[in-house]
Amino acid sequence: MCVTCGCGVGQTLIGGHALRQSKRAGGTLKFRAPQAIEPLPAVEPAEIQPSRMIKIERDILAKNNDYAAENRRMLVDHGVFALNLVSSPGSGKTTLLVKTITALNGELPLAVIEGDQQTENDAERIRAAGAPAIQINTGRGCHLEALMVGQAMHRLNLSDDSLLLIENVGNLVCPASFDLGEAHKVVILSVTEGEDKPLKYPDMFRAADLMILNKCDLLPYLEFDADLAIEYARRINPDLQVIRLSATSGVGMAEWLEWITAGCQRMSRQA
Amino acid sequence: MHEMSLAENVLRLIEDSARTQQFKRVRSVVLEIGKLSSVEPDAMRFCFDAVVADSIAQGARLDIIETCGQGWCASCQCNVPVAARYDPCPLCGAYQISITQGDAMRVKELEVE
Ligand SMILES: Nc1nc2c(ncn2[C@@H]2O[C@H](COP(=O)(O)OP(=O)(O)O)[C@@H](O)[C@H]2O)c(=O)[nH]1
Ligand SMILES: [Mg+2]
Ligand SMILES: [Zn+2]
Ligand SMILES: [Zn+2]
Ligand SMILES: [Zn+2]
């Protein structure tokens, strides 16, 4: 029960109905006949440690937010434009990064932090494309945290006025709540997913500043309504910028590269 | 939401506090969890017990204070109940509701010795 106004606040819904917390047995109550009670043996009172209450009143994510603020300070000091790429698994984050590195062709110093539960595969794809990359394996963890990213940043030796691309663990839920210190979250939605993903995972579309609608080369073969997907996303976040793109065909890449370059210029210490 | 890592974050706050407030053991932990925070209290309890094993808070009781969702509707000029984030106003159907309560997930206090 909610302490503020006394209403019921069940979280889990099964077919729209609240999860039942306990099964009450039907029928009448039965009583046992009273029994003779044996006196309990006397016990020495245990030594009781005095306890005291300590007020904390801190957000559960406060520590992560502290680390994120530290990362952000360092990024700003060095003029590094950092992007946190988030999406469901398979939306094309790594492919987009590889194509971005190839297209920039060394014009802009950049580095990549790769997050996955297991394997070094994505970092290897990035290195093969010619950019320094560090892989964070989160094991059972389903998102990157600011502390991990801060340590990865130190090991990458970021250049001043560079671009840092962070590929988060494929997951549209909790990466929304964990600030890494980035300038922007970029959410990638591919057209092979449902148009209503923004409504199903609103927190992520709310937290992002840019949405990339990827795999647009596949639109002729699908019944995906791109305008509807964008309308849903903007219902959640009216200020969301959108780029329609295909990492494989290259459509929309120019617009994406322009967006990145403009961000780097804003961030740059020379600006 | 991902209660395992949230429970780890709770433990970090407890350990911070143990350093500054000089205590050796935690008897109970009071959390406030809003209905709109997408934290599942039962999952939180389960993860908390697992995460605090072998820590200063081993065996500590977890008390969760749940708060319901409320928001301010600018067109109705009143407070309205909010069942889920991004829902429209139950009175007028407008989408611009600012959440005033129920999105917190906070460590409120500790009982320590
Ligand atoms: N047709 C098409 N396939 C793509 C595109 N982008 C990525 N893919 C494919 O989608 C799959 C998953 O891509 P990946 O980059 O590994 O996704 P990630 O899990 O988000 O990093 C791979 O088979 C890619 O080749 C695109 O624009 N068009
Ligand atoms: Mg990937
Ligand atoms: Zn209530
Ligand atoms: Zn997670
Ligand atoms: Zn209203």
* Index of the ligand 1 atom closest to the CA of residue A98: 15
Stretch A148-162: mean pLDDT: 94
B86 CB neighbours in chain A (<8 A) are 199, 202, 206, 236
pLDDT band at A14 (very low <50, low <70, confident <90, very high): very low
Res A1 pLDDT > 50: no
* Index of the ligand 1 atom closest to the CA of residue A246: 27
Specify the range with the lowest mean pLDDT, choosing from A206-215, A261-270, B62-71. A261-270
Q: Where are the alpha helices (DSSP H) in chain A?
A: 62-77, 93-104, 121-128, 146-156, 197-200, 202-207, 226-236, 253-267
Res A155 pLDDT > 70: yes
For the ranges A16-30, A74-88, A167-181, B32-46, the maximum mean pLDDT occurs at A74-88
Whether residue A11 and residue B109 make contact (CB cut-off 8 A), yes or no, is no
Q: Would you state the pLDDT for residue A142? A: 85
Share of chain A above pLDDT 70, in %: 82
Stretch B13-25: mean pLDDT: 94
Span B27-77, pLDDT tens digits: 999 999 999 988 889 999 999 999 999 999 999 999 999 999 999 999 999
Q: Distance between CA A113 and CA A84 in Å, rounded?
A: 9
User: In Å, how far from its chain's centre is CA A234?
Assistant: 19
Q: Could you give the ipTM of this predicted complex?
A: 0.88
Whether residue B85 and residue A203 make contact (CB cut-off 8 A), yes or no, is yes
B46 interfacial to chain A (CB closer than 8 Å): no
pLDDT band at A269 (very low <50, low <70, confident <90, very high): confident
Res B108 pLDDT > 50: yes
A147 interfacial to chain B (CB closer than 8 Å): no
Res A3 pLDDT > 60: no
Q: Would you state the pLDDT for residue A10? A: 41
Contact between residue A227 and residue A249 where contact means Cβ atoms under 8 Å apart: no
Q: Would you state the pLDDT for residue A238? A: 94
**A115 token code pair:** 């997050």
Q: Would you state the pLDDT for residue B54? A: 92
Q: Which of A9, A57, A202 sits opposite B66 (nearest CB)?
A: A9
* Index of the ligand 1 atom closest to the CA of residue A188: 20
A62 CB neighbours in chain B (<8 A) are 9, 13
| CA dihedral of A250, A256, A257, A263, whole degrees rounded to 10 | -170
Whether residue A56 and residue B111 make contact (CB cut-off 8 A), yes or no, is no
Please give the span between the terminal C-alpha atoms of chain B, in angstroms, as a whole number.
32
B72 interfacial to chain A (CB closer than 8 Å): no
Res A22 pLDDT > 50: no
Whether residue A177 and residue B101 make contact (CB cut-off 8 A), yes or no, is no
Q: Would you state the pLDDT for residue A52? A: 95
Res A193 pLDDT > 70: yes
Res A24 pLDDT > 50: no
Helix, strand, coil percentages (3-state) for chain A, rounded to 5, are: 35, 20, 45
pLDDT band at A173 (very low <50, low <70, confident <90, very high): confident
Report the number of secondary-structure helices (H) and strands (E) in chain B: 2, 6
Angle between helices A93-104 and A253-267 (to 10 degrees): 70
Q: Which of A4, A60, A177 sits opposite B67 (nearest CB)?
A: A4
Span A75-120, pLDDT tens digits: 999 999 999 999 999 999 999 999 999 999 999 999 999 999 899 9
Q: Which of A56, A199, A203 sits opposite B110 (nearest CB)?
A: A56
Mean pLDDT of the residues in chain A: 87
How many Å lie between the centroid of ligand 2 and the Cα of residue A114? 8
Q: Distance between CA A80 and CA A242 in Å, rounded?
A: 23
* Min distance B33 CA to chain A CA atoms (Å): 10
Whether residue B66 and residue A3 make contact (CB cut-off 8 A), yes or no, is yes
